[in-house]
Structure 1
Amino acid sequence: MSRTARLFQLMQALRQSAPPVRAENLAGEMQVSLRTIYRDIDSLRDLGAVIDGEAGFGYTLIEDATLPPLGFDDEEIEALVLGLREVGQTGDPSLAEAAKRALSKLKGRLPPSQSHRLEHAVLSARRFRERPKPGIDPRALRRAAWDEVSVAFAYVDKEGHATKRSVDPLGITALDEVQCLLAYCHLRQDYRSFRLDRMRDLEVSGDSFRPKRVPMLREFIERIRNDPFASANSRNPFA
């Protein structure tokens, strides 16, 4: 097999496999050595493919430079408008502003007929009860999760007990009334959730837990799905 054909086959495997894909599985599927897989991953990155991950943890195809931009059908546009308007209503100020910018960019890049549909979408979003305001900067918390670095903060639980927590931030989930951080708590040595409105004095450390965020988040969500009370000492993990 030529190198070009092998790179094409590797890209197809990354597109079609559930991420993250381990190098051992790719090597077995393509019948090449692990060293060849590592070298070919680097070659695809040099050609413009955005591939997250590294040896030992698996690979995820984030952006495929060989595929053309996607178009949207009418219902996809309605879904995008509804989602962005919901963020505008319920997100923190920086996210609400980002949603407004995203809608403006979409409108400018769609053909005229679809741009009109976006501006006058049938669906909308309104929220009449505001969520409690976060006690920390959500943008800094999101950045820490993306960068996969630990954070510390003061926290007051629903019983009024104050503690200092150091956690690995995995993701933020928006519920009907509150926003919660899903995290691995160093104090409890287990997964925990924390309401953003009960958090104070956020400190971002330089301690990295890369590249474990995605598998840890997947494990936590699976635990909640199987038993929503197990991850918080028999209490609701979102309380």
Structure 2
Amino acid sequence: MAKSDRLFRLLHLIRGLTPPVTAARLAAAMEVSERTIYRDIDSLRAAGARIDGEAGLGYTMIEDPAMPPQTFTQIEIEALTLGLSDVSQRGDVDLAQAAKDALTKILATLPERQQRQAMHAVNLVNRFSTPVAPTIDMTLLREAMWAEEALDIGYKDRDDMSTQRRIFPLAISYHDRAVILLAWCCLRADFRMFHVTRIEGYAQSGESFRPRRVSLLRDYIATLKAR
């Protein structure tokens, strides 16, 4: 791992773990030696990070130069914590973890008073039903959308009929009991909704549909609203 990546990850750990966090715990999480942790903390301090503590006592982030100060109203803090908590419950494994990491980063930029407000938010999420867990790698599916690359998928419809299709993946829609992939289906030459749990497999096609994703998605949403 490059040193810059290691330092970034170390910053994230010091932000997120309950302080004071010991060098031994950081070393175990980073899979490096404690000596490396000591050197990297010295590097972060030299770069302007205010990290309180020392070897044997643990470390606490006082001020993080990588993140500029943020100012939110109390209701904005409630909205952030509520929204990210919902994602952490409803999203797939990677998306849920990303929501938790994002909240950790946001909290690290807040003044102490607002950090307390976020930790004791009055709005809570408690969903009794969540979508069925996807059987495919959702991260790779998202990457195909970011890259605007067509995918070849195997799909089993509600009648258990299997077909092979080339699609232009446009967006992922999270419903109460299902996760839906919105796409342009080349086989049907039309927009289609695919339940991700019915996708039997997919492969990169090498075909790019850049820069059409935004316009196609806009047209699809307009079609759905018209219905």
Q: TM-score, normalised by structure 1?
A: 0.64
Percent identity (aligned): 43
1:156 aligns with 156
Q: Which amino acid aligns with 1:173?
A: S
Q: Identify if the C-alpha distance between structure 1 residues 176 and 130 changes in structure 2 by more than 3 Å, giving closer, same or farther.
A: closer
Q: How far apart, in 2, do the equivalents of 1:205 and 1:226 lie?
A: 32
* 2: CA distance, partners of 1:69 / 1:165: 48
Q: For residues 69 and 159 of structure 1, what CA distance do their matches in structure 2 show?
A: 54
Which residue of structure 2 aligns with residue 101 of structure 1? 101
RMSD of equivalent CA atoms: 1.4
Q: How many angstroms does 1:100 deviate by? A: 0.8
Unaligned regions of 5+ residues in structure 2, if any? 1-67
Distance 1:200 1:136 in 2: 8
**Corresponding residue number in structure 2 for 1:171:** 171
Q: Which moved more, 1:215-224 or 1:156-165?
A: 156-165
Instruction: Give how far 1:201 is off.
Output: 1.3
* Structure 1 residue 69, shift from structure 2 partner: 7.8
Q: What TM-score does the superposition give when structure 2 sets the normalisation length?
A: 0.68
Does the aligned pair in 1 maintain the 2:70–2:109 contact within 8 Å? no
1:1-239 to structure 2, matched below 5 A, reads: 71-227=71-227
Amino acid corresponding to residue 114 of structure 2 in structure 1: Q
3-state SS, counterpart of residue 215 of structure 2: helix
Structure 1 consecutive aligned stretches of length 4 or more whose deviation exceeds 6 Å: none
Q: Which amino acid aligns with 2:153?
A: F
Letter in 2 for 1:143: E
- 1:128 match: secondary structure: coil
Which residue does the alignment assign to 1:50? none
What is the alpha-carbon distance in structure 2 between the residues aligned to residue 197 and residue 134 of structure 1? 5
Q: Could you say if the C-alpha distance between residues 207 and 70 of structure 1 is closer, same or farther in structure 2, counting changes exceeding 3 Å?
A: farther
Unaligned runs of 5+ in 1: 1-67, 228-239
Aligned pair count reads 160
